Amino acid sequence: MPFNYIIKWRKGNPEKVSVEAYHKYPQTKQEKRTPLFTIGKAEGGGLLVIRHLLERAAQKYPTRKRGKTTYILLSENDPEAYETVYRIGLAVALIARAETTQEIEKTTRYVLNAMPEEIWFWTSKLLDDEINSKALEALAVLSGAMQLAKNAPLPSENRQQNSQKNKGTFWPMVRERMKEKAIQLYLQDHPEAREPPAWIELRKAGYLEIAKNIALKEIGAKKTEETATPSKF
C-alpha cells in the first residue's frame, strides 16, 4: 500500500499545518480526496519553531498553491523526503499537544535533532491506535518538557510493556515485517555474514526502503483478502 505524502501549510492568522498520507494509486474519488491517515495537525504561533523546515521543504520538493495554502508534495520513494515528512509530522503533533511555549521548544528541539531510527519508532507508535497520544507524552518526558509522574514507569519500560499488547495493530506489524524482510534481503546478498546487520546499516544500504514496500504490499493484500472473504457465521 504505497503512499503519497502532502504537507498542507496555510500562511495566515492563524498559521496551520497538516501532514497527511494518501493512496499513491487511488481507485475512487474518496481515496483521492481523503487522507489514509494524518501524522500531525496544528495551528497557531507555535508553528513558528518549524517554519524554517517548512520553507526548506517547499524549496526542495514540488509544490502547489491554492490561495494562502501551499501543498508540499513528497514521495515515499525518496528516503530523504520520507524522513522529512515524518519528522515534520511528529513535530506538528507535539506542537498541537503542547500547552506552553517552553514545552513546544523542548519537544520540537528533541525531534529535530533525533536520529532517523528514532523518528521511525515514535511515528509508528503515534500512528498506532492503541498507543497514540501516549507516545507524545513519552516524548515530552524524554525531551525534558514534562516531568515524569511519581512511580510511573519509564518510557523504555512502557515500550517493553506495550510491545506484546500492540503486535496486532497496523504500524507495529509493518515495522516487524519490514525488519524481517530487510534482514532476509541482506543475508541473500551477503551469504557470508555470520550475524544480522545493524538497523542503521540496513537503512544506509537501502534494504529498509525495499523491505517497507514489500511489507506494506503483503499486509495490504492480506487485509484485502480478509475483507473480501465472506464470514462463515
C-beta of residue 216 within 8 angstroms of C-beta of residue 174:
yes
3-class DSSP state for residue 58? Answer: helix
Other Cβ atoms less than 10 A from the Cβ of 205: the count is 16
Other Cβ atoms less than 10 A from the Cβ of 25: the count is 9
Q: Are strands 63-66 and 69-75 parallel, antiparallel or unpaired?
A: antiparallel
> Nearest-CA neighbor of 47 among 83, 4, 6, 11?
11
3-class DSSP state for residue 66? Answer: strand
pLDDT tens per residue across all 233 residues of the chain: 578 899 999 998 899 999 999 988 888 888 888 898 899 999 999 999 999 999 999 999 999 999 999 999 998 778 888 889 999 999 999 999 998 999 999 999 999 998 888 888 888 888 877 777 788 888 888 888 766 444 444 444 444 444 444 444 566 666 777 777 777 777 778 777 766 677 667 777 777 778 777 777 776 666 556 555 554 44
> Nearest-CA neighbor of 11 among 62, 65, 60?
65
Instruction: Report the alpha-carbon distance of residue 3 to residue 171 in Å, rounded.
Output: 14
Residues written for the chain: 233
